[in-house]
Structure 1
Amino acid sequence: MKQIDQMRRRAARYLDVEAVEIAPATGVFSLSFDDFPATAWTEAGPILAAHGVRATYYVCGGLADGVNMDRDQYRVEHLQALHAAGHEVGCHTFGHTSALKMDAEALRLSLDANAAWVAERLDGHRMTTFAWPFGDATVGAKGVVRRRFALARGVRDGVNAGREDRALIKSIGLESRRLPGYDLEALMAEAAERRGWLTAYGHDVSDRPTDYGCTPADLDHVLRAAKAAGLEIAPVGEAWGAVTRA
């Protein structure tokens, strides 16, 4: 089964690609948080505000007020507060379920449920961007997602520049298990030099993060590095309009 899942992930990377040209006037950086743990707002929110930047929060309605990976997840008041502050709210399925575990109909039902749940709590807000739970995509799921969202963000490393698949936008992980392997300054410089789009995703933010989270100092470092490289910083959906061209 594991080998089959790997083959399906690989197929999604190379098949049914709808290429778009990523060519902003200047390099762009977008930060996002997946799921999302409460600390992605309570700890990260003040850091974002201090830097004067906005991020994207990829929401699973089914995780609200719950626990995931031993971390308290967001509460509805967190979601409403960040939306009111101008941060983007995007879709991450309703139950944080891998596309490898859903057929097309199950995925559609999950997206419908999440859309209704978010709209009810955010005065009719419609999510326009998507992030794949666990970074898992399939060829069939890409078709479903592409018909509903402007783009889908994955978890494959790299700067988006030139021709990219709008259903599998690259993104680096602001995760304690991955950060030591990155040269963040070099990635930011590459995005600036190539006039590309660098996106990043994180989860919890605390002094003792999970393997999938980062520290407040890590987050501050990332934002300082983006600014030092001269990158524009914008939420994923807002950046999309600036980085793409027909």
Structure 2
Amino acid sequence: MKQIDQMRRRAARYLDVEAVTIAPSTGVFSLSFDDIPVTAWTEAGPVLAEHGVKATYYVCGGLAGGVNMDRDQFRVEHLQALHAAGHEVGCHTFGHTSALRMDAEALRLSLDANAAWVAERLDGYRMTTFAWPFGDATVGAKRVVRERFALGRGVRDGINAGREDRALIRSIGLESRRLPGYDLEGLMAEAAAAKGWLTAYGHDVSDRPTDYGCTPDDLDRVLRLAKAAGLDVLPVSAAWAVVTHP
């Protein structure tokens, strides 16, 4: 099963690519949080507000009020508060299920459920960007995502510049298990010099994060570096509007 999953991930990376040109007039940085652990709002929200920036929160309606990866997940009032504060709400799958575990019809049903759940709680709000749970994509799932969303954000490292697959936008992980391996200052400088788009994703935010989370100081440093490099800091959907060209 593991080998088959790896083959499907690899196929999705190289097959059925719908390329778009990423060429903003100046470098752009976008920050996102997946699943929405409660601390991604209660701890990260004040850091974002201090910097005066907006992020994207990729929601799984089925996780609301529950526990995921040993961390309490958001409650509806948290989602409503971050939306009211001007942050983007984007789509994960409803139950945080990997695309590797669903056929196209099951994925459509999951996206329908998530869209309806969010719209009911955010006054008809419609999500326009998607992030792959676990970074898992398949060729068939990419087609479903392209039908519904402006883009699909993945988890493959790198800066988006030139021709990129709109269903698998690159992103670095603001995760304690990955952060030591990044030259963040260098990545920000490279994004500015290349006039590219650097996206990053995180999960929980606390002084004792999981392997998939980061500290408030990590988050503060990332935003300071982005600003110091002269990057525009925008949520994913707003960035998409300025970075893409036919």
Normalised by the length of structure 1, the TM-score is 1.00
- Measured against aligned partners, the alpha-carbon deviations of 1:207-238 in whole angstroms (never above 9, x if no partner) come to 00000000000000000000000000000001
Cα distance in 2 between the residues matched to 1:25 and 1:125: 29
Partner of 2:141: 141
Residue type of the alignment partner of 2:6:
Q
Cα distance in 2 between the residues matched to 1:136 and 1:44: 25
Cα distance in 1 between the residues matched to 2:192 and 2:238: 18
Q: CA deviation at 1:16?
A: 0.3
Partner of 2:211: 211
Partner of 2:244: 244
Residue type of the alignment partner of 1:85:
A
Partner of 1:27: 27
Q: CA deviation at 1:241?
A: 0.5
Q: Where does the alignment leave 5 or more consecutive residues of structure 1 unmatched?
A: none
Q: CA deviation at 1:110?
A: 0.0
Partner of 1:100: 100
Q: CA deviation at 1:119?
A: 0.1
Cα distance in 1 between the residues matched to 2:16 and 2:191: 26
Cα distance in 2 between the residues matched to 1:92 and 1:54: 19
Q: Secondary structure at the match of 2:113?
A: helix
Runs ≥4 residues deviating over 4 A: none
- Measured against aligned partners, the alpha-carbon deviations of 1:163-210 in whole angstroms (never above 9, x if no partner) come to 000000000000000000000000000000000000000000000000
- Measured against aligned partners, the alpha-carbon deviations of 1:108-165 in whole angstroms (never above 9, x if no partner) come to 0000000000000000000000000000000000000000000000000000000000
Partner of 2:64: 64
Cα distance in 2 between the residues matched to 1:95 and 1:232: 33
Indicate the percent of aligned positions where both proteins have the same amino acid.
Answer: 87
Give the number of equivalent residue pairs.
Answer: 246
Partner of 1:190: 190
Partner of 2:130: 130
Cα distance in 2 between the residues matched to 1:105 and 1:167: 18
Normalised by the length of structure 2, the TM-score is 1.00
Partner of 2:42: 42
Q: Where does the alignment leave 5 or more consecutive residues of structure 2 unmatched?
A: none
Cα distance in 2 between the residues matched to 1:238 and 1:75: 25
Cα distance in 1 between the residues matched to 2:210 and 2:93: 22
- Measured against aligned partners, the alpha-carbon deviations of 1:3-27 in whole angstroms (never above 9, x if no partner) come to 0000000000000000000000000
Coordinate RMSD, CA, aligned: 0.2
